[in-house]
C-alpha cells in the first residue's frame, strides 16, 4: 500500500510540473499566462486528477470571481490538449482526466493575515488608550 501511495504522490508531482511547463511554453492563450498549478490530487486508480490553480494578479472578490470562473472554463476547455501534452512527456498507460479547480488557500491565507494584523492594531490602540503602552 505504501508503494501505491508514493507512486500516486510522484505522479501528482510530475503532472504538476509538466502542466506548469506546458502553460508557460505550449499554451498560447494570454488569459492563462499568469496561471500557476499549486498542487495536484490524483485518484487511487490514476484515472483522474484534480488540478488546483492560482491566477497571479487576481484577488478573490466579487469582481474577480467571474474572471476566475472564465479562466477555469478556459483551462477546462484546454484540458484535452494538456492531456495530450502530458501523454507525450509522461510514461503512463492512461493519462488522467483533468479537472481544474481554483485554489483558494492563498486568498484565505491573505484574509487571515489581514484579520490578525487588524486585531494586533486594535489591541495596540486599546493598550495605548488605557495608558499601558506609550
Q: How much is the average pLDDT of 41-54?
A: 95
* CB 22 within 8 Å of CB 85: yes
C-alpha cell recorded at residue 82: 494538456
Q: Percent of the chain beyond pLDDT 90? A: 57
Q: Quickly state the pLDDT bin for 12 (edges 50, 70, 90).
A: very high
Shared domain check, 108 and 93: no
Q: What is the mean pLDDT of the chain?
A: 87
Q: Which domain holds residue 128?
A: 104-134
27 in the same domain as 64: yes
- Residue 2 clears pLDDT 80, i.e. is over it: no
Residues 6 or more apart whose CB falls under 8 angstroms from that of 39 comprise 12, 16, 52, 103
- Cβ atoms of 51 and 15 within 8 Å: the answer is yes
The answer on pLDDT for 28 being more than 90 is no
| pLDDT band with cut points at 50, 70 and 90 for residue 121 | very high
Model pLDDT for residues 58-114, shown as the tens digit of each residue: 665 555 788 889 999 999 999 999 999 999 999 888 999 999 999 988 778 888 999
Contact 54, 38 (CB under 8 A): yes
Q: For residues 22 and 71, state if they share a domain.
A: yes
- Domain total in the chain: 2
CATH number at residue 76: 3.30.300.20
Domain identity same for 111 and 54 = no
Choose among 33, 39, 18, 23: nearest CA to 89.
18
Amino acid at each position: 500500500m505504501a508503494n501505491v501511495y508514493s507512486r500516486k504522490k510522484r505522479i501528482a508531482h510530475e503532472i504538476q510540473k509538466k502542466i506548469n511547463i506546458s502553460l508557460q511554453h505550449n499554451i498560447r492563450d494570454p488569459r492563462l499566462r499568469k496561471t500557476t498549478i499549486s498542487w495536484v490530487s490524483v485518484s487511487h486508480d490514476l484515472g483522474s486528477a484534480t488540478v488546483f490553480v492560482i491566477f497571479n494578479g487576481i484577488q478573490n472578490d466579487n469582481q474577480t470571481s467571474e474572471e476566475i470562473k472564465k479562466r477555469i472554463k478556459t483551462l477546462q476547455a484546454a484540458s484535452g490538449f494538456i492531456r495530450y501534452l502530458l501523454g507525450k512527456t509522461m510514461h503512463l498507460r492512461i493519462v488522467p482526466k483533468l479537472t481544474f479547480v481554483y485554489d483558494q488557500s492563498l486568498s484565505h491565507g491573505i484574509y487571515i493575515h489581514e484579520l490578525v494584523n487588524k486585531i494586533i492594531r486594535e489591541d495596540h490602540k486599546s493598550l495605548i488608550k488605557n495608558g499601558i503602552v506609550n
